[in-house]
Structures are given as structure tokens and as C-alpha cells.
Structure 1
Amino acid sequence: MSTLDPIVYIIDDDQAMVESLSWIIESIGLRYKTFVRAQDFLHEYDPQQHGCLLLDVRMPGMSGPELQTRLNEHGLPTLPIIFISGHGDVPLAVRVMKAGAIDFLTKPFNDQVLLESINKALRIDKANREKRQENAQARAKFALLSPREVQVLQGIVAGKPNKVISAELNISLKTVEAHRASVMKKMGVKSVPELVKLVLTNSIQEEVVEEE
């Protein structure tokens, strides 16, 4: 199977809980992988793998929240995290949710609640991966532009007419039109609204603004 096939990672030192979670996940046809220690998961962690993480709060060695912090510090795409705990620790729940966890389930929890949370996590991860891919494609297209084309693109995104761009850059109107056509072709769009949307909804927006 490829990294596009989701895996639900279970990190919990309670063997009975691991077996219960595994059975529930397997019942809906999803793959899973179990770890007793957070450190073991880190050794095998692949940011490219689609999935989510069921993470116990209290474990020997590195705790669940500590693992969450480590993953966030790496600056890499992280799997959506569902925390599971035997204690209704509200301050802790608030802290890990603010740090990016999508759910905090207190044991014992209903099987259906768990499955709904897992499905939500997988949808979020899929959407995040699609967005990152879209960003990467937009950045690759942007990298094809010449410095002058970037300047013209900045003018287009700012809503400036060709005549204004021509005057500001001290180039002819025909040159602006030629650069504009080249920008549209390289960015793979057919209209100005489509071009503006591509810039404003992807990470290249910051680069366009920085170079103004």
C-alpha cells in the first residue's frame, strides 16, 4: 500500500486499551499500527504517510503532550492527533487542543464517538495534504516567472490597470501586455480572477507581498 492509504497510529502502554482500539479500527477496514512508547513512534514517523494519531496522555518516558510538542517543533506536516485519557483534565485538554489536537476523549468512550473522531481526523489530514500539494504546485509555477514578470504579477494582484503598471515600471504598454500573457501561461490560468485566487489562496502570496 502507498502513503495515500491511511494508517491510524495507536500509542498507548495499556495493552487492553490497545487491543480494544485495534479491534474497533479494524472493524471499519482501516489499517493501524501500535506503539507502547512515544519514542518508538518518532523513530518510524513518516510525514508523508496519510493517517491520524490516537495518543494516550500518560505513558512511561515521553508523554502524549510532550510528543505533540516534539512533532510541532520539527516544523513538518503532522498527523491530526486525538488524545485519549483516563482523567478528565480540563486544563490539559485545553492546552493540547490549542496546540493543534482535534479531539480529547476521556476513557471510557463510546465506540461510535471514537470512529467519528477518527473519520474527522482522516478528512482533515486528507484536506491538509491536498492543500500542501496545491501550494507546492503554485510555488513551482511561481518559480518560473522572471523578476519582471513577478513585478507585473504584483501589479495585477493589486488591481492596477496595464497603463499604471507600465508607468510604474517604466516599460511600454505592449511589454506589460506581453509579460501579463506570459504570467498567465506560466501560472496555468485563463483569467485574472483565477490568477488572483491562485496567489491569494496559496503560500506564494507572502512572496508577492515581500517583493513589492
Structure 2
Amino acid sequence: MSNIETARSICPDTHRITGVVYIVDDDESVRSALVSLLRTVDLEVEAFHSAEEFLAAPKGNGPACLVLDVRLRGQSGLALQKSLLTTARDAMPVIFMTGYGDIAMTVEAMKAGAIDFLTKPFRDQDMIDAVVAALQRDAERLEATRSLVETRERWNALTPREREVLSNVAAGLMNKQIAARMCIAEVTVKIHRGQAMRKMNVRTVADLVRSVVALGIETRAR
């Protein structure tokens, strides 16, 4: 890596980037250099010498990414990546680094979900860019998850009749058609529809459809 003292002047604006960068590399000099580099741009960093040490450490629930050496003593980086697929943090973005990478290894890592693969020695800016992109990606993922949880809670708070009305609305049926299908008055459909849309915090049918699709609710205009 190049001189880390220049990192702050060449890196993108990271003052709004939050999260933790986990580093796993059995080379102490590499770990130290990466910790210093990333801290110069005000990122929170935790470093580990092995996959086992990383797995044993507590993890937060906020945005995070993993900078991982492919070749580690004990459990390899690729093996660690695969093991993470069975944990609660399975979606944590992984940036691989190696001094011995080859095409097959890169393909295997990418297929397992790695978002970048840097060959040592790499430029400081390449690592910073990769980490910033990974943290932004994880923040967006967590926000999407939070939003989906809130949407599901709103849906579950609806009455069965309200859910049925909205399912029909999302299927493209008009109020009159919904009334005929449900054997209720059209005015009753309008009342349920208005109340349910407010509860779901959606203003348009397009917003409703996006919410229903995100929840995986099947709608069919039979």
C-alpha cells in the first residue's frame, strides 16, 4: 500500500459514512496499515488475526463490512465467507484481498457474494472506495429491512376485511368490482379502502402495489 498519510486528501467525503469495518488478516503489518489507513478517514475499525477470532467477537446491528484476506491460517477467508451465510449477518458486504488471487478464486468469492476483490499491493484509494461503497450498501440494506418490517407491521394491524379490500385494489379492481366480489356495498369498500390506506401510510395505488409486492402478498384479478 502507498503512504497512508495522503489518504485523507484523496478519499471521498466520508463524514456521513457510519458503520464498522471489520478486518481479518493474519499478517500484523497489513492489519496495522489498514487500521491506520481507514481511521485517517474517520471510520470505525476492528481488526482480527483469524476467522475464529472474528467469529467469536460481538457484532453490532448497524452498517458494517468485512475486509477479508483469502489465505488465512486456520479457516480460510473463503470458508469464513461461506460460514457467514448461515449467520444473522449473512448480508454483510465482503471485500476480499489477496496476494495470490487467481481467476477461479475470484469467481468463487464473487459467486458467494463478495462485492470486491483487491490484489495486494493495492492503492489506498481503491481500498477506501471499496469500503465506503460497502458501508453505503449495507446501510441501504438495513434501511430497506427496517422499512419492510414496518410495512409488515402495518399490514398485520389491518382487519381481515381491510386486507381483503387492499389485496383487491392492488390486483387492479375498481371499487364496484371489489364490492361485487366481496358481496358488500360499494360505499363500504370505499370506507375500508380509505382507512386501510391511511393505516398502511400509502397515498396512491402505486405505493400500495409496491408495498404488497415487497411483502410477497399474492394478488390476482380473478
**CA–CA distance in structure 2, aligned partners of residues 48 and 137 of structure 1:** 17
Could you tell me which runs of 5 or more consecutive residues in structure 1 were left unpaired when the two chains were aligned.
Answer: none
Which residue does the alignment assign to 1:162?
Answer: 175
Alpha carbons of structure 1 residues 77 and 136: separation in structure 2 relative to 1, 3 Å: farther
**CA–CA distance in structure 2, aligned partners of residues 66 and 139 of structure 1:** 34
Which residue does the alignment assign to 1:64?
Answer: 77
Alignment of 1:71-90 (within 5 A): 71-74=84-87, 76-90=89-103
Report if aligned partners of 1:47, 1:79 keep a CA contact under 8 Å in 2. Answer: no
Alpha carbons of structure 1 residues 78 and 194: separation in structure 2 relative to 1, 3 Å: closer
Could you tell me which runs of 5 or more consecutive residues in structure 2 were left unpaired when the two chains were aligned.
Answer: 1-16
Give, in angstroms, the shift of residue 77 of structure 1.
4.8
Give, in angstroms, the shift of residue 75 of structure 1.
5.3
Q: Does 1:207 align with 2:217?
A: yes
Identity %: 37
Structure 2 counterpart SS, 1:105? strand
Structure 2 counterpart SS, 1:168? helix
Which residue does the alignment assign to 1:8?
Answer: 21
Structure 1 counterpart SS, 2:117? strand
- Among 42, 46, 52, which residue is 2:59 paired with? 46
Which residue does the alignment assign to 2:46?
Answer: 33
Which residue does the alignment assign to 1:138?
Answer: 151
TM-score w.r.t. the length of structure 1 is 0.89
Report if aligned partners of 1:47, 1:78 keep a CA contact under 8 Å in 2. Answer: no
- Among 208, 211, 217, which residue is 1:195 paired with? 208
Which residue does the alignment assign to 2:11?
Answer: none
**CA–CA distance in structure 1, aligned partners of residues 89 and 28 of structure 2:** 30
Which residue does the alignment assign to 1:109?
Answer: 122
Give, in angstroms, the shift of residue 45 of structure 1.
4.3
| AA matched with 1:80 | P
Report if aligned partners of 1:9, 1:51 keep a CA contact under 8 Å in 2. Answer: yes
TM-score w.r.t. the length of structure 2 is 0.86
CA RMSD of aligned residues (A): 1.9
| AA matched with 2:183 | N
CA deviation string 1:110-130 (max 9, x = no partner):
111111111111111111111
What stretches of structure 1 move > 6 A for 4+ residues in a row? none
Greater length-normalized contact order (CA 8 Å, ≥ 6 residues apart): 2
Q: How many residues end up aligned between the 2 structures? A: 205
Alpha carbons of structure 1 residues 131 and 11: separation in structure 2 relative to 1, 3 Å: same
Structure 1 counterpart SS, 2:85? helix
Structure 2 counterpart SS, 1:54? strand
Report if aligned partners of 2:21, 2:44 keep a CA contact under 8 Å in 1. Answer: yes
Structure 2 counterpart SS, 1:19? helix
Q: Does 1:129 align with 2:142?
A: yes
Which stretch shows the higher mean deviation, 191-200 or 4-13? 191-200
